């Protein structure tokens, strides 16, 4: 499926991102909903947590009902 391939490519890209890139992508996320995390929060969590947040947002943004 095209959606599965797209998500796989997105996951591969997110895994390769460093913490600063992840924070930038979360701050500028352009989806159906707003991600509203403070700089203090984003600075205080590790890169794996940021990856989880970004991937969850990307997956939810692609879900169509």
Interval 1-54: pLDDT, tens:
567 788 889 899 999 999 999 999 999 999 888 999 999 999 999 999 999 999
End-to-end C-alpha distance for the chain, whole angstroms: 17
> Are the C-beta atoms of 58 and 10 separated by less than 8 Å?
yes
Work out the number of other CB atoms within 10 angstroms of the CB of residue 53.
Answer: 21
**Host domain of residue 39:** 2-11+18-62
What pTM, to 2 d.p., does this model score? 0.85
Please give the Cα distance from 62 to 37 (Å, whole number): 21
CA distance 5 to 43: 31
| Domain tally, the chain | 1
């Amino acid at each position: 499926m095209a959606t599965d391939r797209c998500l796989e490519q997105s996951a591969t890209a997110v895994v390769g991102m460093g913490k600063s890139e992840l924070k930038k992508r979360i701050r500028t996320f352009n989806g159906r909903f707003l991600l509203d995390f403070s700089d203090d929060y984003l600075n205080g969590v590790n890169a794996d947590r940021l990856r989880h947040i970004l991937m969850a947002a990307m997956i939810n943004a692609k879900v169509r009902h």
